[in-house]
């Protein structure tokens, strides 16, 4: 397939607070999120027969309305009042159902790519609004900067001055349902955002002290292997370790990419996990 190729990065949650359940069924959140350079590759070609065609060799993508990538393309074509044919091929590097936002990132990448290819010049705010129709994490990937996210995750403020670190991502091949995690969550917080400190970290030690994920109480209880992986990361020199999103990916914070890479080599011995040293974006 010819056409343009776009990078679609993963994200990690440096902290994730669940403040309560809303009347609409969604949860009120406060999160610090950062993109990392583990990326899917998305090739897009315009032309040919009208319609949207999505292919992904590694994953059985749902057809039609169930496919978030196709939905993103359809939103943009409706915005442009265009019937141009769109062919999209997704080459997956980000594991699915892993707490890394792969599907949301793919959708955001398609929104931004088609905006560019069709020369629509919709602007970031409009693209973020369209992304919010697809999923709560999609606007963050359009925002394209480290962010403090509140509400259902779509109200974004840029996080300045994050320390220079590297991360080691480990996914043991467990697919976790985000819906199941939230349904199983035992809420203990009062739900007031004002009572939470702003995620202000300037040093590596401050970053590690701020690591927090309310969803760990559900996923780690169900999958104790993730507790072991956190301990292994710390034993390999990680300054801190945390589960990202609803899991099952766990990441360690390292001083630099070389240290993260060395730990990855050590932890790969005898394990068939997906292990990726990454840099923040």
230 is catalytic: no
For residue 255, give the CATH number of its domain. Answer: 3.30.70.890
pLDDT the model gives residue 112: 98
**Other C-beta atoms within 10 Å of 255: how many?**
15
Q: Do both 171 and 93 map to the same domain?
A: no
Q: Do both 98 and 142 map to the same domain?
A: yes
User: Which has the minimum average pLDDT: 24-33, 100-109, 220-229?
Assistant: 24-33
Q: Do both 10 and 109 map to the same domain?
A: yes
Contacts with 161 (C-beta within 8 Å, 6 or more apart), sequence order: 201, 202
Query: pTM to 2 decimals?
Result: 0.91
Distance CA 172, CA 53 (A): 31
Q: Do both 153 and 183 map to the same domain?
A: no
Give start and end residues of each alpha helix (H) in 24-172. Answer: 68-80, 102-117, 124-132, 138-143
Backbone angles phi, psi at 105, to 5 degrees: -65, -45
Mean pLDDT computed over every residue of the chain: 90
Distance CA 164, CA 166 (A): 7
- Count structural domains, the chain: 2
Distance CA 216, CA 244 (A): 9
Among the listed residues 158, 123, 120, 122, the one whose alpha carbon sits nearest the alpha carbon of residue 140: 158
pLDDT band at 24 (very low <50, low <70, confident <90, very high): confident
Q: Do both 142 and 26 map to the same domain?
A: yes
Q: Do both 82 and 149 map to the same domain?
A: yes
Distance CA 178, CA 17 (A): 15
Report whether 6 contacts 141 (CB < 8 A).
no
pLDDT the model gives residue 192: 59
Q: Do both 97 and 221 map to the same domain?
A: no
For residue 109, give the CATH number of its domain. Answer: 3.30.230.10
Report whether 264 contacts 232 (CB < 8 A).
no
Q: Do both 23 and 87 map to the same domain?
A: yes
Q: Do both 231 and 99 map to the same domain?
A: no
Distance CA 143, CA 149 (A): 11
Q: Do both 260 and 242 map to the same domain?
A: yes
pLDDT the model gives residue 63: 52
137 is catalytic: yes
The dihedral built from the CA positions of residue 42, 47, 51 and 57, taken in this order, carries a sign that is: negative
Q: Please say if the pLDDT value at position 127 is more than 60.
A: yes
pLDDT 10s digits, 149-196: 998 888 999 998 899 999 999 999 988 888 889 888 887 665 555 556
Helices (H) and strands (E) in the chain, counts: 9, 11
pLDDT the model gives residue 263: 98
Catalytic-labelled residue, pool 11, 71, 115, 230: 11
Q: Please say if the pLDDT value at position 103 is more than 60.
A: yes
Domain limit, last residue, from 128, 158, 188: 158
pLDDT 10s digits, 39-88: 999 999 998 888 899 988 766 655 544 689 999 999 999 999 888 999 99
Q: Do both 74 and 132 map to the same domain?
A: yes
Catalytic-labelled residue, pool 40, 115, 137, 214: 137
What percent of the chain is predicted at pLDDT more than 70?
92
The whole domain housing 99 covers 4-158
């Amino acid at each position: 397939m010819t056409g343009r190729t776009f990078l679609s990065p993963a994200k990690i949650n440096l902290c994730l607070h669940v403040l309560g359940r809303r009347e609409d069924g969604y949860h009120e959140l406060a999160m610090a999120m950062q993109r990392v350079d583990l990326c899917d590759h998305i090739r897009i070609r315009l032309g040919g027969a009208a319609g949207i065609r999505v292919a992904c060799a590694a994953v059985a993508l749902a057809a039609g309305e169930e496919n978030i990538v196709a939905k993103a393309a359809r939103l943009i074509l409706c915005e442009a009042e265009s019937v141009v044919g769109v062919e999209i091929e997704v080459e997956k590097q980000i594991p699915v159902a892993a707490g890394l936002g792969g599907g949301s990132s793919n959708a955001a990448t398609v929104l931004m790519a088609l905006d560019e290819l069709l020369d629509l010049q919709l602007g970031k705010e409009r693209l973020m609004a369209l992304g919010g129709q697809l999923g709560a994490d999609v606007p963050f990937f359009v925002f394209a900067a480290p962010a403090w996210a509140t509400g259902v995750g779509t109200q974004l403020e840029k996080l300045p001055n994050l320390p220079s670190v590297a991360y080691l991502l480990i996914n043991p091949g467990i697919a976790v349902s985000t819906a199941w995690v939230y349904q199983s969550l035992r809420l203990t917080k009062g739900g007031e955002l004002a009572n939470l400190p702003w995620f202000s970290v300037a040093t590596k030690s401050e970053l590690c002290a701020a690591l927090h994920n309310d969803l760990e109480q559900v996923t780690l209880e169900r999958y104790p292997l993730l507790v072991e992986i956190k301990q292994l990361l710390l034993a390999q020199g990680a300054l801190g370790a945390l589960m990202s999103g609803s899991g099952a990916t766990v990441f360690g914070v390292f001083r630099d990419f070389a240290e993260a890479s060395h730990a990855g080599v050590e932890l790969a011995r005898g394990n068939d996990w997906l292990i990726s040293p990454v840099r923040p974006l």
